[in-house]
Amino acid sequence: MEVNPSLFATMAAINAAGYDADLGSNANSPIRAQIRQWAESAKPKVLEQLKEFYSSHRKSDPTRDLSQYISFALCLELYNAEDGPDFRYRMRLSDLPPDVQELDGFEKILTRFYRETRLGELMEKNQSAIDRSLEPYHAPVTLALQQIDGYLRNPRNNGVKGNFYVYLDVLAAPNQIHMRSYGNDLFIVLTSSPEPQIEYIKTAYMRFQIEPIAMRHIADIEAKGSLIDFAQGAAALDEQYKKDFVSLSVASLVRAIDARMLPARQRQAAVDLALKDGFILTPYFTEAMAEYEKQEQSMRFYLPILVKGIDLKKETARLDAVTFASAPRERKAKVAPQPVVEVSPAEKTLEEAEVVYGQKNYTQASVLFRRALEETNSRPLKGRAYYGMARIAALNRDPQLAVDLFEKTISEGAEPQVTAWAHVFAGRLLDLAQDNDAAKKHFEAAIATKGASPASRKAAEDGLNGIRPSRP
């Protein structure tokens, strides 16, 4: 539980650039006003460039506008370079989330802003104020997570990969909660609020622990999936749960565990509230957890027993009698929506083409790949279309056309992984044709492609080592 330097710097920069959402709210941290004054008095040379970048990437919805910069900050690390502090991505550019890729280049502006305003010095001067902002969280969050680990009987090595991070953002508009999942890591970003959002942290942590276990037993969970029909009538339930029974089951179990950890007199009210909100399996899990508490296995091993114990007839009878809440409950802090990436017509066509290709309907896939070419001027998307057509040409035993199309894929500047595989496949075809020099160039280019997958690099290395000798 801390203030993340990359997040702090990013929020300071957009505040200086024109991010004014809820600036008059009494729930704002006083640090926000201090940082804005500091940036104004520092008069950094990069300020005009910063304002121009922020203005050109601004979203009409303030929450979504903030959301993209939170995603961006969570993908950065602060390095101590020879010439001063330097912000760099902590992952490859090709692996960045789409909303972060749209902000590419901002890390250079942020580095200049950080140096020119001496923001690091200001963070040090405000450390005691930052610590006071965090103080309401430390003890209750630590206690809550320890209690959850104890209840789930989590050993030190419980099979859950990744880390759970909670960051407080004192420079953003107040009363918001943002969640991001990158790789195996889960990030919770809370903005200033009159009361600490402990309950949300507890819920997120339980999901972080339980979801990986549930994913190992998807088939067992989905076997009970007919119950999801009851959730469709729950007005308070988020739409994601109405479409994904595994997620709904995990969320129901989380609410059940939360209820079991309450004093006995408060338990039934919590279960009833969860059920009215649409978490349809919470009553069952709450009852079944009584047996879990009597035995010694951890949740890691007991979850399949819980799932297999769901009696569809009994739960159907229980849910037939439920009257769900007519509207979502008002929450003190607003859970921000996840970043939404708009999909272009060409991208939709390419996705459809890949599905048809996977079904081995190569004639229809070829038609769709060609249609995608006509639907876009984006070179990377054109590259993906040529890549699909090239694979079909290879399957149709037209190696020259396949090589030509793989080279078109490369020249259009497709994504790194597509480009690398295009080099690999072109190299293989040229090797079969005993054009050694051309094959070698493609294999070497695949290995040198930044952002290429390990599998494509390994294939290129194998191809390079296995080039056939030329005919005498």
CATH number at residue 383: 1.25.40.10
364 versus 98: the higher-pLDDT residue is 364
Q: Is the dihedral of CA 71, 72, 77, 78 positive or negative?
A: negative
* Domain termination residue (choose one: 66, 95, 127): 127
Convert the pLDDT of each residue in 213-260 to its tens digit: 898 899 999 999 999 999 998 988 888 889 889 999 999 999 999 999
118 and 25 fall within a common domain: yes
pLDDT at residue number 311: 96
* Domain termination residue (choose one: 316, 335, 354): 335
Alpha-carbon distance 179 to 339, whole Å?
Answer: 10
415 versus 268: the higher-pLDDT residue is 268
Q: Would you state the structure tokens that stand for residue 38, as one six-digit string?
A: 């500091």
327 and 350 fall within a common domain: no
301 and 373 fall within a common domain: no
The verdict on residue 207 lying in a domain is no
Number of domains in the chain: 3
378 and 293 fall within a common domain: no
320 and 387 fall within a common domain: no
The verdict on residue 396 lying in a domain is yes
313 and 226 fall within a common domain: yes
**Residue 160 pLDDT exceeds 70:** no
52 and 84 fall within a common domain: yes
pLDDT at residue number 268: 96
Convert the pLDDT of each residue in 66-100 to its tens digit: 999 999 999 999 998 888 899 999 887 777 888 88
442 and 380 fall within a common domain: yes
Three-state secondary structure along 221-280?
Answer: HHCCHHHHHHHCCCCCCCHHHHHCHHHHHHHHHHHHHHHHCCCHHHHHHHHHHHHHCCCC
The verdict on residue 191 lying in a domain is no
Alpha-carbon distance 130 to 127, whole Å?
Answer: 5
226 and 311 fall within a common domain: yes
Domain span at residue 305 reads 216-335
* Domain termination residue (choose one: 84, 109, 127): 127
Check: CB of residue 353 under 8 Å from CB of residue 383.
Answer: no
Arithmetic mean of pLDDT over the chain: 88
**For residue 251, what are the CA distances in angstroms to 241, 278, 398, 425?**
8, 10, 52, 44
The verdict on residue 181 lying in a domain is no
pLDDT-derived band at 157, boundaries 50, 70, 90? low
- pTM value? 0.65
The verdict on residue 211 lying in a domain is no
359 and 405 fall within a common domain: yes
105 and 10 fall within a common domain: yes
Other CB atoms within a 10 A radius of the CB of residue 394 amount to 19
The verdict on residue 282 lying in a domain is yes
Describe the crossing of helices 282-294 and 264-276 by its angle, rounded to 10 degrees. Answer: 140
Question: Residue type for 258, please?
Answer: D
- Contacts (Cβ under 8 Å, ≥6 apart) of 28: 22, 173, 174, 192
The verdict on residue 147 lying in a domain is no
The verdict on residue 220 lying in a domain is yes
**For residue 405, what are the CA distances in angstroms to 14, 225, 286, 385, 426?**
44, 44, 58, 9, 9
380 and 327 fall within a common domain: no
154 versus 461: the higher-pLDDT residue is 461
Convert the pLDDT of each residue in 365-403 to its tens digit: 999 999 998 988 888 888 889 999 999 999 998 999 999
pLDDT at residue number 129: 82
